[in-house]
Amino acid sequence: MATTRAAAGRAGKRGKPGEPRPRRDRRTRDARAQGTDARAVLLEAAAEVFAERGFRGASVDEIAQRAGYSKGALYWHFETKHELFFALLEQSVDAPAHEMIELLREAPVEQDMAPEASRRIVELAARQRELVLLEDEYWAQAVRDPDLRARYGAHRENLREELASALRVRLEHLGTPISGIAHEQMATVLMGLTSGLMRERMIDPSAVSDDLLGSAIVLLYRGLLAGDGR
């Protein structure tokens, strides 16, 4: 009788045939207790290890150990090392970019956004140097790997679409909508320009003045207006 009850109990834990099995909580007791705090600590440790080892050289074991958690705790929060990388990217690089895009969308007409763009790129290059380098390393891998390229390309496409939408709104606010070039193309040019200038500044700060990006954006804007017959 006892054996029958034990078997029934095991069957109840497994669930009925055909039902998905419940996800096992493989986190350590510490990780379960701290929740989102554990995630933040793991991200901080990942940033340090990635900076020291690069993406290829960084191991999940070392990141978990640096954070003071088990590997199971890390995998509870991030399914793969790639997920960890994108979480870092979104937190430290994408967040400032999204903030700038939203400012572009909402800023008053009289506010000149070119100097603000320059200021923010200078800050990002200084504060997130190691993460920018890490993204370059990931880009180099993604170019060679179709699966990584698709994931990274989707990430960039989302950013491009958001920027294109903000540019459209901004130009309409200024009363100068551009018909000769798609806003998505403008967004691509600006993203490439921003990325390139930031990396040039990291090599030689004297070659990229604090206001160079803003000046380039102004020239681009004036050129688009001229090409549109204005």
Q: What average pLDDT score do residues 84-96 get?
A: 87
Query: By C-alpha distance, which of 222, 170, 223, 214 is closest to 194?
Result: 214
Name the residue with higher pLDDT: 110 or 224: 110
pLDDT given for residue 152 in this prediction: 92
The pLDDT > 70 percentage for the chain reads 82
Local structure of 147: helix, strand or coil? helix
CA-angle at 122, arms to 46 and 220, nearest 5°:
125
List, in order of start, the domains of the chain with CATH numbers: 22-79 (1.10.10.60), 81-227 (1.10.357)
How high is the pLDDT of residue 230?
A: 63
Q: What average pLDDT does the segment 73-79 reach?
A: 92
Please report the pLDDT score of residue 24 as a whole number.
41
Distances (CA, A) of 78 to 84, 86, 150: 6, 10, 19
pLDDT in tens, 171-230: 888 887 776 678 888 899 999 999 999 889 889 989 999 999 889 988 888 887 776 656
Contacting residues for 14 by C-beta, under 8 A, at least 6 apart: 21
- Is residue 3 scored above 60 in pLDDT? no
CA distance 104 to 135: 24
Cα separation, 194 vs 120, whole angstroms: 10
Mean pLDDT, residues 105-133 taken together:
84
Please compute Rg for the chain using Cα positions.
24
Q: pLDDT tens-digit profile of 28-58?
A: 444 444 555 889 999 999 989 998 898 889 9
* Helices 129-144 and 81-89, packing angle to 10 deg: 130
Strands (E), the chain: none
